[in-house]
Homo-oligomer: A and B are copies of this chain.
């Protein structure tokens, strides 16, 4: 059921242009990112190309980034996680609720409890996928529906507006030096997951499972447990993203928080999979994908482009960016 991006066709190539093709395909999306930055800077130098807007873009993409990075871990193993929308909503809402009602006095404790809960829910997804043998797509879709229902039920559709302590709001509104807190979280998540996937035994095993689960299993890797881990991480990142949204806005919304980020996080991860290491999901790629989406959104908004143009232009830029990367890879195969 996995998505097979490689197309097939006559292969021709000359060793002379090989290196060039390689470079272009690896750096295609990065080049698109640079091109977007250049164009927006030219068109709106005083607004776009400022250090303030730089942090602003980072701040805007940080929530998408955190969610997309978690999703990347699941996608490395070929697992689509559609529950992350519901998970983000639940995470943000529960943290606000528990803190507003005083269930937990300390924001840190509340955040940790929510993250632990998310890990458990994600691991449940993993159990059904690995031991039940159901495709992750449908499991996470169903669980996402359950989460949506639960948070509506728990909240009675009421947004939590008051009683959220400042210690929690700082997660979304604070700054460390010039760096907004959401960006700090994004950086932490990116570095941790980068090290996790690239430098640890667990990450190595995940790539092996994603590449060929049967080989991994026959090499003695407990393949099934990794589905729990991957979907757990994905869920925890989604919940963290949801909490940062809540802290940023200062309200606990029972609806619609995560949905905003669902498709964009897939888009970012898939853009990432055509960056630097074509065909592989990886953290650096997703970061590039997130930045590309962030720059496009920010640039188009700053230019005051009409909404419908924003949709259309965004689609076109995405298409061009990924096309630039993939077209040449394909020719090389």
Q: Which of A's residues lie within 8 Å of B, judged by CB?
A: 1-9, 75, 78-80, 82, 128-139, 141-153, 212-214, 217, 223-224, 227, 263, 266-267, 270-271, 273-274, 279, 306-316, 318-319, 322-323, 326-327, 329-331, 333
Contact = CB atoms under 8 A, between A and B. Distances in A.
A136 B2 CA distance: 11
A141 B267 contact: yes
A153 B312 contact: yes
A135 B5 contact: yes
Contacts of A131: 7, 9
Nearest to A1: B4
A309 B316 CA distance: 40
A318 B4 CA distance: 26
Given A1-B279, A5-B134, 10 more contacts: A1-B6, A1-B273, A3-B135, A7-B131, A7-B133, A133-B327, A139-B319, A141-B263, A149-B309, A149-B312
Contacts of A323: 128, 132, 134
A138 B312 contact: no
A258 B24 CA distance: 36
A227 B149 contact: no
Contacts of A273: 1, 135
A150 B7 contact: no
A136 B3 contact: yes
Contacts of A331: 133
A150 B150 CA distance: 36
Contact of A153 (B130, B132, B308, B316): B308
7 contacts: A134-B323, A138-B267, A138-B270, A144-B315, A145-B315, A146-B319, A152-B308
A146 B315 contact: yes
Contacts of A151: 308
A208 to B, nearest CB: 12
